[in-house]
């Protein structure tokens, strides 16, 4: 078993990564049982994994099954979930298990952060995106009419259990979307890992167990290191993990936070746009920006606005950005790059210039189609 510690003082916890771990979850979670049953929260798409988890836990678990999809991260589902947990008599010392992708992890994490002023929870992520990103670090949230993840809290899990084998049942599109968050770690500050991704992405997506376990472990270790340095984004270090997200969330908002554009697809397009914008500013070379875009295209991820199915004006997309939770004193920080593996936070970006850049991207897309 590969164990990655997340060092946060008295809130520290381990991320355990091993093939087949789901079927042995009962053993791994025994120290957290405290003689009481677990409550598992999952969605309707994860029933096969739910059966495996319940068999491992024995009779000491109950399940709450929610609808799948981004719309579940809502006030309505938050209220319904907290009412069900209260009906089941969940106490502050109990552990609620989040079994699913990022939607379930975010919702359960937020629900347990406010239930009785704070209950414990466990993350068992079942998507690649959740395994390498959202299950680690304690960011929990729901969406609102104003935007994505604007209502939430920092609430760390007690433990994270990652079983790469569960990815065998993940639809190819979901797997590709999750891969965007893997290659992100190479683009942030690890050029060697980006090169590894270029060479091994196809094997990872095709089901190579060694490639998957290495990519997951490396990604989790990278995130754990950054979270340990800056848990609540107070120094700016953790903000690096948002590479592609400012552009990506605007694209998700424009597509209604729906299956038209999955979160990982939005992040992929957002990262390509961040590098293209960096090249436009003269921060990195056009060749490096194209190398990033070409890699995303090669594995079937969107590399810009057109590939993401977005044709909105720059003004409209910037309007979505104004609802970003990272806005401070009327300015919006952007993650830009001086090269692959050289990402930095820029708090001086002119949004009118971003608007012009996005309009240029739309124009270029139209010319490519016409030509």
pLDDT at residue 158, rounded to an integer: 97
pLDDT at residue 371, rounded to an integer: 55
* Spatial contact of 305 and 311, defined as CB atoms under 8 Å apart: yes
User: What's the pLDDT tens digit per position in 161-175?
Assistant: 999 999 999 999 999
Distance of CA 151 to the CA centre of its chain: 16
Q: What is the mean predicted confidence (pLDDT) over 323-341?
A: 87
pLDDT band of residue 255 (cuts 50, 70, 90) is very high
Does residue 245 have a pLDDT over 70? yes
User: What's the pLDDT tens digit per position in 260-302?
Assistant: 999 999 999 999 999 999 999 999 999 999 999 999 999 999 9
* Spatial contact of 166 and 126, defined as CB atoms under 8 Å apart: yes
Q: Which helix (H) or strand (E) holds 186?
A: helix 172-189
CA distance 8 to 36: 27
User: What's the pLDDT tens digit per position in 334-361?
Assistant: 999 999 999 999 999 999 999 999 999 9
Query: Which residues are catalytically annotated?
Result: 117, 139, 181, 223, 233, 238, 242, 245, 249, 263
pLDDT band of residue 104 (cuts 50, 70, 90) is very high
């Amino acid at each position: 078993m590969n164990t990655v510690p997340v060092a946060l003082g008295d809130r520290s916890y381990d991320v355990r990564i091993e093939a087949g771990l789901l079927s042995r979850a009962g053993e791994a979670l025994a120290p957290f049982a405290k003689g009481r049953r677990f409550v598992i929260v999952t969605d309707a798409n994860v029933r096969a994994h739910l059966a495996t988890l319940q068999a491992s836990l024995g009779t000491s678990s109950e399940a709450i099954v929610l609808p799948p999809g981004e719309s579940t991260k809502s006030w309505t589902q938050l209220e319904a979930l907290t009412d069900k947990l209260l009906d089941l008599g969940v106490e502050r010392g109990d552990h609620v298990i989040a079994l699913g992708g990022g939607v379930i992890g975010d919702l359960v994490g937020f629900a347990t952060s406010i239930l009785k002023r704070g209950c414990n929870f466990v993350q068992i992520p079942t998507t690649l995106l959740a395994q390498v990103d959202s299950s680690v670090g304690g960011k929990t949230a729901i969406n609102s009419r104003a935007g994505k993840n604007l209502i939430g809290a920092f609430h760390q899990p007690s433990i994270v259990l990652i079983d790469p084998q569960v990815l065998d049942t993940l639809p190819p599109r979901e797997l590709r979307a999750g891969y965007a968050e893997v290659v992100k770690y190479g683009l942030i500050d690890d050029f060697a890992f980006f090169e590894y991704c270029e060479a091994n992405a196809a094997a990872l997506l095709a089901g190579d167990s060694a490639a998957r376990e290495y990519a997951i472990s490396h990604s989790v270790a990278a995130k754990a290191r950054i979270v340990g340095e800056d848990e609540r984004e107070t120094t700016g270090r953790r903000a690096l993990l948002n590479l592609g997200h400012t552009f990506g969330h605007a694209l998700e908002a424009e597509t209604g936070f729906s299956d038209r554009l999955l979160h990982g697809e939005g992040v992929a397009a957002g990262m390509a746009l961040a590098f293209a914008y960096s090249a436009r500013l003269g921060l990195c070379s056009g060749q490096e920006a194209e190398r990033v875009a070409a890699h995303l295209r090669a594995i079937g991820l969107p590399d810009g606005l057109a590939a993401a199915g977005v044709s909105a004006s720059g003004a409209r997309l910037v309007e979505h950005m104004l609802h970003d939770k990272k806005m401070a004193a009327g300015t919006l920080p952007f993650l830009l790059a001086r090269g692959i593996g050289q990402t930095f936070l820029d708090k001086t970006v002119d949004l009118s210039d971003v608007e012009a850049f996005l309009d240029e991207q739309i124009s270029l897309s139209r010319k490519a189609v016409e030509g």
